Each structure stands twice: as structure tokens, then as C-alpha cells.
Amino acid sequence: RLESTFLFDTIESCNYYITKHLRGNGKIYEVELIEIDQLFEGDMKIIDDIPTYILFEDLINEFDAYWQGQEELEPVKEFIFQGKFRYK
């Protein structure tokens, strides 16, 4: 994850991330993927909707759901990308 770039497939998902995680302070760039080494698609809402107080076992289940690619009813998809890209 530390060497990854986080991408989004819609402007709405990107704006959600900027608002929720960057306090509204971010920029949106369109990119073209040139070479894909790794690409994971996850629903950010699964992680964001974890309650503050949760049993450890339930927390592990939520993380498993995220990494297995499960989605909520209204997913916010993020793509964890490793590889080469260029700005459009």
C-alpha cells in the first residue's frame, strides 16, 4: 500500500474521498494507465462505515469483506494501483 497510487472510477467517488479523508483539500487528475503491476478494487464505504466501537472479531470480518472485494449497497470504489501511469 505504501508504494501504491489510489485511483477512482468516478468524480463522485473522488470527491467523496477528498471530502471525507482530506478535509476537502485535494485535486483531481485524470490519468492513463500504462503498465499495471497490481490493481485491487475495493469499496471504501466498508472501511468508512465501521463503527467507532466494534468487537475485534467483527473488525476483522469487515477488513476481510473489503479485501475480498465485497460491496455495500451504494459502494464508493477505490483502486489501489501499482504500475506506471501518466497524467492526461
4-45 pLDDT, tens per residue? Answer: 999 999 999 999 999 999 999 999 999 999 999 999 999 999
Surface-to-core class of residue 40, CB atoms within 10 Å of its CB (0-12 exposed, 13-18 middle, 19+ buried): middle
CA distance 10 to 2: 23
- Mean pLDDT score of the chain, rounded to an integer? 95
Percent of the chain with pLDDT over 70: 98
Total-model pTM: 0.85
**Those residues with Cβ within 8 angstroms of residue 29's Cβ, 6 or more apart along the chain or in another chain:** 87, 88
**What is the band of 1 on the pLDDT scale with cuts at 50, 70, 90?**
low
Q: Are 50 and 59 in contact (CB under 8 A)?
A: yes
CA distance 71 to 83: 25
Per-residue pLDDT at 62: 96
**What is the band of 3 on the pLDDT scale with cuts at 50, 70, 90?**
confident
